[in-house]
Amino acid sequence: MRIRITYQKYGALLYTSTLDVQTIWERSVRRAGLNLQYSQGFHPQPRIQIANPLPLGFIGSHELIDIWLADEFNSAEIINLLNSALPEGMQVLEVEIIEENGPSLPKQIEASQYRVDLLNTDDNPDKISVLAQDILTKDVLPRVRNRKSYDLRPLIQALEVQISESGNTVILLKMPSNSSQTGRPEEVMAELGIPMEDFRVTRTNLVFSGKYA
């Protein structure tokens, strides 16, 4: 059976890459006493699909993964089994049993929504709002990454500056994350002149493309 898991990634797990997250799922499933299905062939691979890689250091509050199990259990049982087998920093919120042969999960994802929390209390929200507005009025935003130049502007699908309940400045972003384009929140932050150690990014949502929504 194929299940879609909604989970959180935080704490000590922030620094674990997507490749290692895949290993963590395989091991957690084994510890939970569940059995993964394996692909056919000479080097059988466990059938796992991570929706979209979450960059190192980002909190994931609604991450998705599909796994194929060789067992039959109900969702509540699976949630319990997995949560007792996952390391600290990863937690299952929801398990949905889905169509075994439906479309691949990564292909369905179009974009990501992020929330960027600024850590310094002396950040000036007004100044940041002005800078953000400035970015939005521009037609092009040339940047260089890994010695390649590209235009950041079309990758910013939404950008909003807010004040959180606790009074800190928060930036909300929507950027593409699909096979043809990936927007990077830290590039927007660099454009706003805020260094890496002064903010923390949470991916709050994965946006499905219209076709699958």
Partner 1 sequence: MTDKDSIQTFLDRYLLTITKPGRYVGGEFNQICKDWEQTALHFAFAFPDVYDIGLPNLGMSILYDQINQREDALAERAYAPWEDMEMLMRSHAIPLFSLESKQPLRNFDVIGFSLPYETLYTNMLNMLDLSGIPLHTDERTNDDPLILAGGHACFNPEPMHAFIDAFVIGEGEEIIHEVAEVFKAHKRAGEPRIALLKALDTLPGIYIPSFFEVEYQSDGLIKEIRNIEKPEKSYIQKRIVKKLPKPVTNFLVPNVKAVNERAVIEIMRGCSRGCRFCQAGMITRPVRERPAAEILEALEESIQSTGYEEVSLLSLSSSDHSQIADIIPQVMQMSESKNVSFSLPSLRVESFGPELIASMQGKRKGNFTIAPEAGSDVMRTRINKSIDSQDILDTATQIFKMGWTNLKLYFMIGFPDETLEDVQGIVDLTRQVRSIGKQLVGGRVKIHISVNTLIPKAHTAFQWLPFSEKESVLEKYRLIQSGLKNTGIKLDWPDYDNSMLEIWLSRGDRRLSAVIEAAWRGGARFDAWHEYYDVNIWQQAFESTKIDPDFYSTRSRCTEEILPWDHIHTGVSKKYLLNELEKSRALETTADCRQVCHGCGIQANYAISCENIRTGVQ
Residues 37-76 that bind partner 1 (CB under 8 A): 38, 56-57
31 Cβ partners below 8 Å, 6+ apart? 85
Counting DSSP H helices and E strands in the chain, the numbers are 5, 10
Decide if residue 24 touches partner 1 (CB under 8 A). Answer: yes
Decide if residue 107 touches partner 1 (CB under 8 A). Answer: no
Decide if residue 158 touches partner 1 (CB under 8 A). Answer: no
- Least Å distance, CB 55 to partner 1, is 10
- Least Å distance, CB 163 to partner 1, is 21
Decide if residue 138 touches partner 1 (CB under 8 A). Answer: no
> Looking at 49, 61, 68, 87, which residue binds partner 1 (CB under 8 A)?
87
**Phi, psi of 169, deg, nearest 5:** -80, 135
In the complex with partner 1, which residue's Cβ is closer, 42 or 101?
A: 42
> Looking at 138, 196, 209, 212, which residue binds partner 1 (CB under 8 A)?
196
In the complex with partner 1, which residue's Cβ is closer, 22 or 129?
A: 22
Residue 26, judged by CB atoms within 10 A of its CB (0-12, 13-18, 19+), counts as: middle
In the complex with partner 1, which residue's Cβ is closer, 16 or 129?
A: 16
> Looking at 129, 200, 205, 208, which residue binds partner 1 (CB under 8 A)?
200
If one counts every other C-beta atom within 10 angstroms of the C-beta of residue 49, the result is 16
Residue 25, judged by CB atoms within 10 A of its CB (0-12, 13-18, 19+), counts as: buried
Kindly indicate which of the ranges 79-87, 103-111, 142-150, 177-185 contains the residues binding partner 1, using the contact rule CB under 8 A: 79-87
The alpha carbon of residue 125 and the mean position of all alpha carbons in its chain are separated, in whole angstroms, by 26
Question: Rounded CA gap, 112 and 60, in Å?
Answer: 11
Reported as half-sphere exposure (CB side, CA atoms, 13 A), residue 88 has a value of: 2
Decide if residue 125 touches partner 1 (CB under 8 A). Answer: no
Question: Rounded CA gap, 67 and 63, in Å?
Answer: 13
Rule CB under 8 A: which residues touch partner 1? 11-17, 20, 24, 26-31, 33, 35, 38, 56-57, 85-89, 119, 196-197, 200
